[in-house]
Amino acid sequence: MNHTIPDWNANTDAVVQLNITGSAPPLACEGLPLRFRGQAREYVRLWVVNVALTLASLGLYGPWARVRLLRYLHGHTQIGNHSFDYEARPGKILFARLLMLLLLALLNLGPVILQGWARSSGVAAGIQALLSLLVLLWAPWLAVQALRFRARCTSFRHVRFHFGVGGRHLWREAVLLALLRLVAVPLSLGLLHPYSAWRSRRFLIGQRHYGTTPFVFTARPGQYLRLHLRGLALLALVGAALLLTGATGSAVVGRVRQGERPPLVLGLGMGLGLILTLVCTLLWLTYLEAGAARLTWHHTTLGPLWIRCGWRWRELLVLRLTNTLAVLFSLGLLIPWARMRGLRYRLEGMAVGPAEALDGFMAREGDAAGAFGDEALSLLGLISPEL
Amino acid sequence: MTVLSGEYFDGTSSRPTPVTLTLLPPDRLRLSSASWQREQPLTTLRLEQRAGQAPALLHAPDGSVVEVWDDGSLARWMGSQRWGRWRRLLAQAESRPSAALAVIGLAIGAVTLALVQGLPALSGLGARAVPEAWERSLGEQVLAELDGPLLQPSRLSAQRQRQLQQLMADLRPQLPVPIQRLELRAADQIGANAMALPGGILVLTDPMVEAASADELRGVLAHEAGHVLHRHGLQSLLRQQSLNWMLLMAIGRPSNLQLLSESLVTTAYSREFEREADREAVTVLRRLGIPPQRLFDLLHRLETAKGGRRPGWLESHPNSTERRRSALGPGS
């Protein structure tokens, strides 16, 4: 009777073909690895058809297209034999989008109407500034709303995830995190970054539930600090590359100022310095990304379930560089391929266990988060949509 | 009788139950597991088609879900559902190249039709619907924004300015549309140019006044009055805005495509507006007994003085030869 359920293991040819970096990273412990079965060709077809339908409907089909593509990505992410699902209702997204567009239109048209009516540009400008300020004050609440919506739309075995259910002062924490990241971190010249990284993860993971079961996040800020300290060695490399660029660059500029032709060696040195700076910066960021992901998931549990992440920064770096080059040299045609490849590495680098614990989660009733926060902030360009 | 297998999730726990699905004609579905059976009218179920290799989903009103991999039979069973036919067509478009090509063709057709017919018609209607008070206030706002960065107070002598205002006053009865006022401005960055702002404010730049004879200036003013008559300022604003909003609607976030559409589509519309305004200018000049050729001579002089042009499809104005041909006919 089971013959209609595809046997993924028999179907790996196409997957192996695409997986250039080799197998998924080895994990330190036994458990159920995540599997990502998305294929670039299939995804592109879905993407083209949905974009075409969106154009044909002059944009109205947009929410359906997005849900369809996200359903593809979620549906091809599996633990054991079961896949995730994306359960947003496109009609609700459309409604939220239209509502926000209407609001934006009023904000845009406001000055024209007001000036015709108030006959004074000062009053009109004042009212518009006030409205913009209101939207800005509204943003943290919208951000929490967006997080709730995104979590709620994701389900595994048809039990939904939730964010911030019953949580208190979410709004305050969102404001605090935004201030920390946008003001305090730059002012402290990055010294506060480990703390900001820890605190935002505590918020994003610690407020999350799978059904009725909360995620528990036990990492300490000190651990993120130690990670960033280890990263300093790589930052020193960036510094050295910058120094090389600066030294050769100023020499080249000096020669040119004196009316001489700079020797080829100097030019080559400057080019090399620039490339090295870029690569080293990428290396440093990738090291932090992989380290933070391993650290974060290592200290996250979901009820009886442990979670592990086995990303390795060297592999992640190779993946990034090859993806970037592929996209550049194909003039963007390979974007879907690069996307599938990136998702495969990141997802297949994770595992959960023990397997039998997956059966025991219960769904939560009555968390109705609307699509408005997500749509509003996406339309304003303040957050990037999931797709 | 077809029997499908699937997995049942009751919506309250994460435990899956293997089930079989049977159709009980005409419109009931039976789910059977090892220990229970339930029946459900098909009309209460919502089918979510497969996306690639992800399973098809049957949502029941109580929140329970059945995952099924063979959605061919399922789609047939559910075919009579509301939107069922359309959903099946969509699923086919995603899986069959021929259907996908049809959808792409449909998209190209729809976009072309919207750009060539829909948007111009809509913006025409929209421009007529906008109250004159708003349009005037918009014009004042645009002028206030241009003053300073692009336009500076005119450096022409007071006498020359009076002459120009007199020329405008004499021209007024001949124009097809009431003109609010004529503004004179120095414009170091734009050079010789004239503008029609929404609500009927005309702007002449000093270099334009210096470059043109009186008859030529009448032609230029008549051309700008043509813009005012057809409310081109408002229309182009409406078209550009609707394009932006449509892109925002489709993508859900601000994107670079908006810049692209502005540089390609909006300039195409602008070229069309220029030709329309030229036709108005020719009518007015003929009524005044001035050879319309004068206007195009001036345009040609300005163009050669300016030198280097971008490719035509990037320009907001067609070149002077083309403008003359389209306003006066090919023989001229």
Encode pLDDT of A163-176 as tens digits: 988 777 898 899 99
DSSP code per residue over A286-327:
HHHHHHHHHHHHHTEEETTEEEEE---HHHHHHHHHHHHHHH
Q: Are A107 and A128 in contact (CB under 8 A)?
A: yes
The answer on B218 and B316 residing in a single domain is yes
**C-beta atoms of A158 and B65 within 8 A:** yes
Is this model's pTM higher than 0.95 or not?
Answer: no
pLDDT of res. A18? 30
Interface predicted TM-score (ipTM) of this complex, two decimals: 0.78
Does A49 sit within 8 Å of B253, measured CB to CB?
Answer: no
pLDDT digits (tens, 9 = 90+) for B132-152: 888 888 888 888 888 877 888
Is B11 within 8 Å of A363 when comparing Cβ atoms?
A: yes
Taking CA atoms, what residue in B is nearest to A1?
A: B5
B123 within domain boundaries? no
Any A CB within 8 A of B47 CB: no
- Closest residue in B to A5 (Cα–Cα): B69
Q: Do B54 and A56 touch (CB under 8 A)?
A: no
Distance in angstroms (rounded) separating the CA atoms of residues B187 and B211: 14
Which amino acid appears at position A79 of this protein? I
- Give domain limits for chain A: 36-167+299-310+349-387, 168-206, 219-297
What is the C-alpha to C-alpha distance for residues A13 and A10, in angstroms, rounded to an integer? 8
User: Do B90 and B135 lie in a common domain?
Assistant: no
Residue B167 lies in a domain: yes
**What pLDDT shows up at residue B308?**
56
- Tell me how many degrees the CA angle A237-A241-A242 measures, rounded to the nearest 5: 115
Q: Which residues in chain A have their CB less than 8 angstroms from residue B18's CB?
A: 1-2
Residue B289: inside a domain? yes
Chain A residues in contact with B139 by the CB 8 A cut-off are none
Query: How many beta-carbon contacts under 8 Å exist across A and B?
Result: 168
Distance of alpha carbon B37 from alpha carbon B21, whole angstroms: 10
Same domain, B309 and B162: yes
Same domain membership, residue B266 and residue B184: yes
Shortest distance between the Cα of A1 and any Cα of chain B, in A, equals 6
Query: With an 8 Å Cβ cutoff, are A74 and B248 in contact?
Result: no
- Residue in the structure block whose two tokens are 């009516």: A117
- The pLDDT confidence band at residue B82, using thresholds 50, 70 and 90, is low
Does residue B126 belong to any structural domain of this protein?
no
Same domain, B148 and B75: no
Q: In what order do the strands lie in the sheet with B28-32?
A: B37-41, B28-32, B17-24, B3-9, B65-68, B56-59, B46-48
List strands edge to edge, sheet with B194-197: B152-153, B181-186, B201-205, B194-197
Question: A62-96: per-residue pLDDT in tens?
Answer: 999 999 999 999 999 999 889 999 999 899 999 99
Interface residue of A1, A58, A83, A378 to substitute, partner B, most B CBs within 10 Å: A58
Indicate whether B314 pLDDT > 70.
no
Residue B178 and residue B82 share a domain: no
- B230 part of a folded domain: yes
Q: Is residue B244 situated within a structural domain?
A: yes
Q: Which domain-ending residue is among B43, B74, B94?
A: B94
Contact (CB<8Å) B249/A101? yes
Chain A residue numbers with beta carbons less than 8 Å from the beta carbon of B95 are 45
**Cα A303 to Cα A214: distance, rounded to the nearest angstrom:** 7
CA-to-CA distance for A293 and A77, rounded, in angstroms? 18
Residues B79 and B139 in one domain: no
Number of domains in chain B: 2
B148 close contact with A: CB closer than 8 A: no
- Helices B293-306 and B320-328: angle between axes, nearest 10 degrees: 170
Residue A5 has pLDDT above 80, yes or no: no
Region of A247 on the Ramachandran plot (φ > 0 left; ψ -120 to 50 alpha; else beta): alpha
Domain span holding position B155: 131-328
A12 pLDDT exceeds 80?
A: no
Maximum distance among all Cα pairs of chain A, rounded to whole angstroms = 84
Which residue of chain A is at minimal alpha-carbon distance from B137? A116
* pLDDT of res. A122: 67
Per-residue burial over A87-111, b if 16 or more Cβ lie within 10 Å, else e, is bbebeebbbbbeebbeebeeeeeeb
Instruction: Indicate the residue of B9, B54, B253 with minimum beta-carbon distance to A378.
Output: B253
- Do B76 and B161 belong to one domain? no
pLDDT at residue B302, as a whole number: 84
The minimal CB distance from B51 to the residues A5, A71, A361 is found for A71
In a domain, B119, yes or no: no
Compute how many other C-beta atoms are within 10 angstroms of the C-beta atom of residue A242: 17
Q: What pLDDT sits at residue B331?
A: 56
> pLDDT at position A6, please?
33
With an 8 Å Cβ cutoff, is B140 touching chain A? Answer: yes
Which chain B residues are Cβ-neighbours of A380 within 8 angstroms?
254
The answer to whether residues B321 and B222 belong to one domain is yes
Residues B154 and B250 in one domain: yes
pLDDT: which is higher, A327 or A384:
A327
Which distant-in-sequence residues (6+ apart) come within 8 Å of A377 by Cβ?
A139, A142, A143, A146, A383
Evaluate whether residue B108 is within a structural domain. Answer: no
pLDDT of B186-201, one tens digit each?
A: 887 777 888 898 888 9
